[in-house]
Structure formats: structure tokens, C-alpha cells
Amino acid sequence: MNSRERFLEVMSFNRDVRSLKWEFGFWGENLTRWYAEGLPKVLGTNIPTRLTTVNASVYTPAWTHEWRKGRTYLEQYYDEREQEIPLPKGIAVWGGGLYWPSQGFPLGLDVMNYFGFDKSTAQVPVEQVFWPMFEPVVHEDAEAYVIYSDVDGVKRRYQKDEGVIPAALEWPISDWDSWNQIKAERLRLDQVRQRFPANWAEWAAAYKARDYPLAVGGYPCGFFGTLVHLIGYENVFLKYYDAPDLIHDILDHFTTLWFAIWEEILADVEVDCCHIWEDMSSTKGVMISKKIFNAFMAPCYRRVTDFLKGKGVRTILVDTDGNCEALIPWLLDVGVTGLYPMEVSAGMDVVQARKQYPQLQLMGGIPKYDMALGRPRIDEFLEPVGWLLEQGGYVPFGDHLISPGVSWEQFKYYRERLNEMIDSRGRV
């Protein structure tokens, strides 16, 4: 059974099929440490460098800024798909549990290969945000940081030593004038086919014989996520009250645009899932009220989930960090089918969620920080995973990027034990 078939069966709650072997991901600091502590370096961890779509390439100019200093982006990377570049400490390295490519992050191929992971979900190479993308521009290149404008039009500050995800300073949408300009220049509904790569026919032909899941959506596509990505968290919270018509227009237009894009994609290939990025929870709970959810987000969710399910896409997953317990019934009510990464450190209990919502697809839910506490604690937190696997509809992995404090031996013990549990459940 290949990874695509396995994904479809697991998400359909087929208990005869073993779950997928994936991780959410790791920090660049993890990989550097693990290579030094014994992880065999066979395939390497290359950073994608070619700018393809906002979904795939946002943050890429930051990760690659120092690679060939003094040359323009096109001079550095024209027609180069990826490069072996020293990993920044704070870059995410995907472990198969999310779609790829995304956010300029590499795949942890050596970790995936070592533990026999299933193939990662792929994201379609079609522009789902701005077409054309913004041209990256460096505004200030200091010793400790670089300030630049990214492919999504967001002005960001990247701290070189820390190497973490760049912090937003200014956003491309601030009012009706900026929104109307972007809508007219980069979100036109009559240019949908221009968002597709020139060799789309080759992609579509290859997808017909694929052995891995294929996704639409993904970061930063969401009904809260896209707003905060392009407007800023605090600004969005204020505009819900000060400019509700603007928020409604933005959400309505993006929803209509995604319909148009996905309609074209689905005419050529079968898609296995949709990922919706929100990050609308903190460690203390949901950042928005149910009233705001119902007024602004629920109508868009219902349109999207009805559309996708009508096209045969049965798995619609929401990615939100933090404590999202209150969100679960809201999301189920609007047609969402699954949730991840279920952060234990924020108070999420994946066992309780399964008992309360047996129809909810779940991924994650394993406490990443506790792996550093050693084998007895690993054995303890893995114990309920066996029961969860028997219920179906569950992919176990760390509840976000694995902590840099976890050694290679600790992660190796945890992952080998988890693989044994996965293999022992399911006949195929």
C-alpha cells in the first residue's frame, strides 16, 4: 500500500490499515545537532531556493540571503531548485506530516529515510495567493539583521544569528485603498490560468500515477490565517469592529478566487485533501469569539467545504496551534473533518478529543518537549497512542516542531517505539 492509498484509508477510519509514519517537523538546530550525534547524512537537507509560489516560497529570501551576498535574487538562484545551505537554527524542517513545498522550508529527508517514513503530502505548484508575486527587495542589510520585503508584500526583519522566522513590520493591506489596489493588480479572477506553471500538463500527467497524497490550500490560506498574514494580528482584531465590510470583502474575494483556482486544478487531477492554515489559538484558548467566527469565517468555511466535498475531496484539515478545544465543535459544524497538531503543552488532550468527537480526524498530540525527559517519560506518553491507533483516523506525531533540547538518542528511541506501535496496529 503506497502513501496515498494509506492516507485515504486512515482518514476514512479503516482500522485494518496501519497509520502513517510522519512527523510534523524539526528545527534546523535539531538537524545540525542530530547529524553531529549520529544521524547518517545521506540525502542532505537542501533548502528550496527557486521562487515558485507565495505558499512555497514565502520567507525563502531570508533563509538564502547570505548565500551569495551582493548579487540579486535572480542572479543567485535563477533556475536552481534547491541548494545545500547551512541550516538556520530557527528554520522549520518538515517531517512528512504537512504538505511540501511550504514557506521555503526543506524536507528532513535523512530523518524520514532513517525511520522509513511514508512519503510526504505534496502541495500543488499553483499560485493561490498573489499573481504576480511581489519582487523581493532588501531595504537594510545590517550586521545582525536584514530588513526586506517578501514575495507576499510583507516587510520583514530577519535576525541573522537567531535564524528564526522573520518578524513582520508592515503589511500590504491596511485599508480599502490598499486592498482595492492589490485586488485589481494581483487577485484578478480573469487570470486564473496564468497562476499555473507553464509545464502544468507534465505535473498533471505525473499526478495521475502518484503514490503520495496531493493537497490544495496550505499556508497562508485560511479565513483567519490569510487576514493576519496580510494585515497583522492586532490590525485584524480591530478591523473586525472598525471595518467589518472590508474584512467581509477580503474573505469573500479570496474564497471566490480559491474556488476558481481549485476548479481548474480539479478538472485535471484528483486531490486528496485541503489544508487550511489558521493559527487562531494561543496557549490560553481561541483568539476570537464564536460571534466573530460565525459572522466572518463560518459562511466562507461552509462554501469551501461544500464545494470541496462536492468535488470528491473528503479530507479538510485545519492547522492551528495552541489550545483549540473550543474550536472543535465550531469547525465540525462548518464541514471541517480534521485538526492538527493538537499541542499538549497548550492543554490539548488528543485522547479526550477522540472520545468526545469520534468522527474527527486527528494528527499530532504527542508532547514534543517531554521527549527530552528520557525513556521512562517517553514510554509513559506513548502508552495511550496504542488506543488511539485502534480507533482509526489518527496519525501520531509530535505536537509541533520537535524541541532543540531533544537529543538524537532520545528522538531515536521515541520514534522507533512509535513505529513499532504503528506497525502492530493494522494488518496492511
> Could you report the per-residue pLDDT of 292-346, keeping only the tens digit for each?
999 999 999 999 999 999 999 999 999 999 999 999 999 999 999 999 999 999 9
Nearest residue to 210 via CA among 45, 22, 6:
6
Three-state DSSP at 128 gives: coil
pLDDT at 77 over 60: no
Q: Is 90 exceeded by the pLDDT of residue 55? A: yes
- Provide the pLDDT for residue 272: 98
pLDDT at position 350 is 97
Mean pLDDT of 387-396: 97
Confidence of residue 49 (pLDDT cuts 50, 70, 90): confident
All three cell numbers of 350, joined, read: 488528543
Q: Give residue 47's pLDDT.
A: 87
The x, y and z cell numbers of residue 1, run together, are 500500500
- What local confidence, expressed as pLDDT, does residue 85 receive? 74
For the chain, what is the mean pLDDT?
A: 95
| Residue corresponding to grid cell 493537497 | 215
Give the residue among 177, 181, 172 at the shortest CA–CA distance from 230: 172
Pick from 84-98, 146-160, 223-237, 386-400: least confident: 84-98
Q: Which three cell numbers stand for residue 101?
A: 513545498
Which DSSP symbol is given to 359?
Answer: T
Task: State the average pLDDT over residues 150-158.
Answer: 97
Percent of the chain as helix, strand, coil, to the nearest 5: 40, 15, 40
Give the orientation angle of helix 375-391 with respect to helix 408-424, to 10 degrees: 30
- The closest of 168, 176, 27 to 90, measured between CA atoms, is 27
pLDDT of residue 76 exceeding 60, the answer is no
Determine whether 148 is exposed, middle or buried from the number of CB atoms within 10 Å of its CB (0-12, 13-18, 19+): buried
Q: How confident is the model at residue 286 (pLDDT cuts 50, 70, 90)?
A: very high
pTM: 0.95
Q: Quick one: pLDDT at residue 75?
A: 55
**Torsion angle in degrees (nearest 10) through CA of 214, 211, 50, 88:** 90
pLDDT, average across residues 90-109: 95
Q: CA 212, 213, 214, 219 torsion: positive or negative?
A: negative
The band of 80, judged by pLDDT with boundaries at 50, 70 and 90, is low
Taking residues 68-89, report their average pLDDT: 67
